[in-house]
Structure 1
Amino acid sequence: MAWFETWFDTPYYHILYKDRDFAEAENFITLLISNLNIPKDSKIIDLACGKGRHSVFLNKMGYEVLGLDLSPQSIEHNKQFENSDLKFEVHDMRAEIFPELSVEKADAVLNLFTSFGYFEDENDDRKVFQSISNILKDDGYFVLDFLNAKWVENTLIKEDQTTKEGIDFTIKKKIEDQHVIKDIFFKDQGKDYHFFEKVKLHTLEEINSYALEFGFERVQIFGDYHLNEFNLESSPRCINVFKKKSHD
Structure 2
Amino acid sequence: MDKIFRALKQSFQACGNPRILFLLFLPFMLAVFVGLVLFFTLGTWWITAASTGIEQSFVMQYISEKWNILSSDSAASVSYFFVLIVTILLLIPFSYLVAVILVSLVLLPFILRILEKKDYPSLDKKRGGSFSGSLWNTLKVSVIYLVALSGTLFLWLVPGFAIVIPLLLSAYLNKNLFVYDVLEEFASVEERQRIEKENRGLLYGLGVILGLINYVPLAFVVAPTFASLAYSYFCLNALKDLRENRP
The TM-score with structure 2 as length reference comes to 0.27
The TM-score with structure 1 as length reference comes to 0.27
Structure with the higher fraction of residues in strand conformation: 1
Q: Looking at CA atoms only, which structure, 1 or 2, has the larger radius of gyration?
A: 2
Structure with the higher fraction of residues in helix conformation: 2
Q: Considering Cα pairs closer than 8 Å and 6+ residues apart, tell me whether 1 or 2 has the greater RCO.
A: 2
